[in-house]
């Protein structure tokens, strides 16, 4: 997985390098590996449909997206500033504990719905500790997405995702496969 891609050409060039080295080492794409990217920057969310054309799969890095979208480092603000934001009712809880559906998460859905290429048919993945929270999974927006997350909350995430899939069968996942 190629991290922190911001431009489709960037992934195109790195993918070509990966394929060249893999061929030199006797590995075949599709058989032995796939080349994907972690969508971790707001710009990449906006062009995810174009990035998808150069990826076998992609995943949304929820922790990095949260940090880059709100402009705060988790290490700098989670212990000191976020409690005050909660107290002042600026936020309901830590933005690092739930997905910001009204914020950066809303950037992910439209490009993914129109994505083409292997990444579209491989499904959509969200990664990171926020990806595993039941709050995130309650929304039908996220039904059908796969989660790559820290192990402890993952079972809660799976149950919540299943509940969302039952409640709203027409979701992004079914729309992208149409």
Residue bearing the bigger pLDDT, 172 or 164: 164
- Is there a domain that residue 65 lies in? yes
Q: What angle do CA 146, 152, 155 make, to 5 degrees?
A: 50
Q: Is a pLDDT exceeding 80 seen at residue 122? A: no
Does any domain span residue 33?
yes
Is residue 69 one of the residues assigned to a domain? Answer: yes
Burial readout 109-128 (b: 16 or more C-beta within 10 A, e: otherwise): bebbbebebbbbebebbbbb
Residue 140 resides in a domain: no
Q: What is the pLDDT of residue 137?
A: 44
Distance CA 168, CA 34 (A): 31
Q: Is the pTM for the entire model greater than 0.85?
A: no
Mean pLDDT of the chain: 75
On the question of pLDDT at 11 being above 90, the answer is yes
Q: Is the pLDDT of residue 12 over 70?
A: yes
Q: What is the pLDDT of residue 177?
A: 44
pLDDT (average), residues 14-26: 96
Q: Is residue 99 part of a domain?
A: yes
pLDDT digits (tens, 9 = 90+) for 58-91: 777 878 888 888 888 888 898 889 999 999 999 8
Q: Establish if 90 belongs to a structural domain.
A: yes
Q: 160-171: per-residue pLDDT in tens?
A: 666 666 666 554
User: Residue 153 domain-assigned?
Assistant: no
Q: 71 lies in which domain range? A: 8-132
Residue 172 lies in a domain: no
- The domain tally of the chain equals 1
Task: Report the half-sphere exposure of 131 (CA within 13 A, side-chain side).
Answer: 22
Q: How confident is the model at residue 99 (pLDDT cuts 50, 70, 90)?
A: confident
């Amino acid at each position: 997985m190629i991290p922190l891609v911001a431009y489709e050409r960037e992934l195109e060039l790195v993918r070509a390098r990966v394929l060249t080295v893999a061929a030199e080492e006797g590995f075949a794409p599709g058989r032995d590996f796939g080349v994907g990217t972690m969508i971790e920057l707001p710009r990449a969310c906006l062009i995810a449909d174009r990035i998808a054309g150069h990826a076998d799969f992609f995943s949304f890095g929820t922790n990095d997206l949260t940090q880059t979208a709100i402009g705060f480092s988790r290490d700098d603000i989670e212990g000191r500033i976020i409690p005050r934001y909660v107290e002042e009712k600026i936020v309901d809880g830590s933005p690092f504990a739930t997905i910001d559906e009204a914020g950066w998460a809303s950037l992910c859905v439209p490009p993914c719905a129109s994505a083409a290429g292997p990444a579209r048919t491989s499904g959509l993945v969200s990664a990171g500790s926020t990806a595993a929270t039941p709050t995130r999974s309650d929304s039908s927006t996220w039904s059908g997405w796969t989660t790559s997350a820290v192990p402890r909350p993952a079972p809660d995430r799976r149950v919540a995702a299943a509940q969302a899939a039952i409640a709203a069968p027409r979701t992004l996942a079914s729309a992208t496969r149409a």
